[in-house]
Structure 1
Amino acid sequence: MKNLKILIVTPGLNKPMGPFVKNYIDKLPFEKVVLFGGFVPYFYLNTSLKRQKIIRYLFTVLSLMNQKRLEILIKKRFKKILLKEKIDCVVADYLNTGAAVKSICEELNIPIVANVLGYEINKKDVVDGNKKNYESLANYKSYVIPVAKNMIPKLKNFGFEDEQIIYSPIGAKEDFFKINPTYDAYQFLAIGRFTATKAPQISIKAFAKVLQKFPQAKLIFAGDGELFEECKTLIEELQIGDRVELVGWINQEDQLQLFRKSSVFIQHSVTAANGDAEGTPVVIIEASAAGLPVVSTKHSGIIDTVIDGKTGFLVDEHDLDSMAEKMIFLLENQNVMREFGDYGKEFIHQNFSLNKHLDTVTQTILKAVAP
């Protein structure tokens, strides 16, 4: 197993992106090469921004600023890397990344394992633009790892067979299971990008309703994104600025501290107007692992990881009033809060630990390279 060499490919333009890639780099038991820089990535891990700019400039000049020629040059570079590194298996971050490199891998008879994370199988324009590529990938030596069960029928529609589809969200690190929340803190916590699929405005409005009954309650909201300023304005309009703290982007140590100091985790995920939707939000798994009851929505992979009425509450998308009611109920019933937290910690540990996910990915890679 140690002699196997995998290529991890991520579309992050300037650096590798996301928790999947970081954990795969750190923990998968194979020799690893990492590339980033687009859907057919061609920059090695730790390539400086200066060098990226130089290479991009050279490729643009060599292609005579023709997009098709540029794509051919990038694919040639990708193929050269596969040959030079003697890669046994390509592990792709996002289904459309796997589909983009399929033709090159097929030339060299290299199997592909692709994560299916969310937008690439939900967002209508992305799905429409990649349909043929997905179907082509399904007919190749490939395995796909969707993070939510509701993705499985969509993958089957592209032609992936049952044996090619391995359901596995990313899972929580052991650090999260060691946390004990502060259930009597009256503090709600939300962490995530301020985007349409996470509908942060609804969480803020629901919290405003909670304040009518519990004026001592507090909401900490971590993250950034295109709706950040809109949410700041909303908080001012609702006149709840003294009870809501927007802390911006945080690192994992900050996240662990916030979990310790909070009582309940909230997230109001919805399907956006363009069809975009969550996969399984990693932070919800981490919150449950930390013993926080979760109030969220009946959305995508959330329904697989939060047991309604046992580890938290799930409400319909856009149901602001029900969300506020469940938040109030938990503050009124701290014994239920603790029961949900304890049950959630055990449920996640049994089903959604990071070690379990990494073992699943390891076994899938071994299956992909088997003769």
Structure 2
Amino acid sequence: MKTPKILIATPGLNKPMGPFVKNYIENLPFEKIVLFGGFVPYFYMGTSLRKQKITRYFLTAISLMNHKRLQKIIKKRFKKILLKEKIDCVVGDFLVTGAAVREVCEELKIPIVANVLGYEIHKKDVLESNTAIYSKLGKYNAFVIPVAKNMVPKLKNLGFSDEQIVYSPIGAKEDFFKISPSYESYQFLAIGRFAETKSPQISIKAFAKVLEKFPHAKFVFAGDGELFEECQQLIEELQLSDKIDFVGWIGQETQMKLLSESAVFIQHSVTAENGDAEGTPVAIIEASAAGLPVVSTKNGGIIDTIIDGETGFLVDEHDLDSMAEKMIFLLENQNVIKEFGQRGKEFIRANFSLDKHLNDVSQTIIKSLNSR
């Protein structure tokens, strides 16, 4: 039997992006083509920035700078690639990508499998502007893979049936399960964007309260984003510059090193004013797989990954005092840190391994091909 050929469509503007795409490229058991460059992508993986710039300039010129005409040209280019490569199934990174390529795929009778990662279904303006194309996707031979259970009702409201919805958050690689944390280090770790949905300011303020009881505690924060400078200013105002280390964006090797050096993982996720919320944060799954207890919030898919009072603690959004109390409790009870950490490792292995997610995606692709 011929191995199916899939096209992985990622909206990354200048290159394929994100942990989902990376893991699909490396691990899905199909022949694969990867495109990027927008919600209807048209650049092959490996296309140089120079060639991208020339191509974009050329397409804009022949469209006479008319947006609708440009989109038609891009869709024609996408269709040519599908035909040339003899694609059997398109795998869209983000629901909006799957919806954007639906018209071309429907014309060619190619099924679609799309991830639902968060902002495209939670953020009010994005959801409102795309509701019509999401609903059209729901009427097609399409399957959606939400990474959090709280997305399922929203997808049903958009017209997707139970059979089309496959809940499956991305999981942790095997390497993370081999990590042994430093439970006696008194070091907290946070990894993520300095963005409104992560509310890094609350994590910093909660840590300041921890220092009142444990002045030798440490906090390492990896990542950057629009709130980075604001948070730098905050730690200076709180006189915590010698206690909090901002290390910027990190690779997986550094991430694993930091996990092995830390005792507790923290992330104070909140729902933004525009409705944006977490999907299921990969960083939390990986921290728990590594054996770190997690202190986080009752937000998005986080409630599916942390068992409150068994593998970590979940507090209400914006509850600074409860966040600090749970952090202090763990430092006061070293035996609990270890117990929570080991239970978390076992829970993630049973429910959120990368192998399980890849199998879910593979089976969904096969199901979509059998539904043609």
Q: Same fold (TM over 0.5)?
A: yes
The reply on whether 1:90 has 2:90 as its aligned counterpart is: yes
Cα distance in 2 between the residues matched to 1:278 and 1:100: 23
Alignment correspondent of 2:136: 136
Partner of 2:9: 9
Calculate the aligned-residue CA RMSD, in Å: 0.6
Instruction: Extract unaligned runs of 5+ from structure 1.
Output: none
Tell me the residue number matched to 2:271.
Answer: 271
Match of 2:25 in 1: 25
Separation in 2 of the partners of 1:46 and 1:268?
37
Residue 106 of structure 1: aligned partner = 106
The whole-number CA distance in structure 1 between the counterparts of 2:288 and 2:7 is: 32
Equivalent residue number for residue 262 of structure 2: 262
- Alignment-derived partner of residue 225 in structure 2: 225
The CA distance in 2 between the partners of 1:303 and 1:49, in whole Å, is: 40
Question: Which residue type is aligned with residue 310 of structure 1?
Answer: E
SS of equivalent residue, structure 1 residue 196: coil
> CA shift at 1:163, angstroms?
0.6
The alignment partner of 2:13 has SS state of coil
- Give the drift of 1:64: 0.6
Q: How many residues align?
A: 371
- What is residue 201 of structure 2 aligned with on the other side? 201
Name the structure 2 match of 1:249: 249
Q: Percent same amino acid at aligned positions? A: 75
Equivalence for 2:329: 329
1:314–1:11 distance in 2 versus 1, CA, 3 Å: same
Kindly indicate whether the alpha-carbon contact (under 8 Å) linking 1:2 and 1:30 is maintained by their aligned counterparts in 2: no
- The one-letter amino acid of 1:87's match is I
What is the correspondence of 1:1-371 to structure 2 with a 5 Å cutoff? 3-370=3-370, 371=372
C-alpha distance after superposition, 1:189-228 (max 9, x if no partner): 0000100000000000000000000000000000010000
Q: Distance in 2 between matches of 1:330 and 1:32?
A: 46
Contact map agreement 1:119 1:276 (CA 8 A) in 2 = yes
AA of the residue aligned to 1:204? I
**For 2:283 and 2:168, how far apart are their aligned partners in 1?**
15
- Counterpart CA distance in 1 for 2:319 and 2:46 is 45
Q: Cα deviations across residues 34-55 of structure 1 (Å, max 9, x unaligned)?
A: 0000000100001000000000
Distance 1:335 1:3 in 2: 50
Shift of 1:2: 6.2
| Aligned counterparts of 2:367 and 2:71: Cα–Cα separation in 1 | 31
| SS of match in other structure, 1:183 | coil
SS class of match (1:125) = helix
Structure 1 consecutive aligned stretches of length 4 or more whose deviation exceeds 4 Å: none
- Tell me by how many angstroms 1:3 deviates: 1.4
Q: CA deviation at 1:255?
A: 0.2
Amino acid at match of 2:169: P
8 A Cα contact 1:2 1:31, kept in partner: no
AA in 2 matched with 1:269: S
Q: What are the superposed Cα offsets for residues 74-109 of structure 1, whole Å, 9 maximum, x if unpaired?
A: 000000000000000000000000000000000000
- 1:279-305 deviations in whole A, cap 9, x for unaligned? 000000000000000000000100000
Give the 3-state SS of the residue equivalent to 1:87 in structure 2. coil
Separation in 1, partners of 2:62, 2:138: 34
Letter in 1 for 2:192: G
Cα distance in structure 2, aligned partners of 1:100 and 1:352:
29
Distance 1:160 1:334 in 2: 46
SS at match of 1:185: coil
- Write the letter of the residue equivalent to 2:265: F
Letter in 2 for 1:129: S
- 1:237 shift after superposition: 0.4
State the 1:244 CA deviation.
Answer: 0.3
Secondary structure of 2:184 counterpart: helix
CA distance in 2, matches of 1:29, 1:152: 27
Whole-Å separation in 2 of the counterparts to 1:248 and 1:206: 20
Q: Is the 8 A contact 1:2 1:29 kept in 2?
A: no
Equivalents in 2 of 1:133, 1:267: separation in Å? 33
Q: Distance in 2 between matches of 1:296 and 1:180?
A: 21
Q: Secondary structure at the match of 2:171?
A: coil
Cα shift at 1:70: 0.5
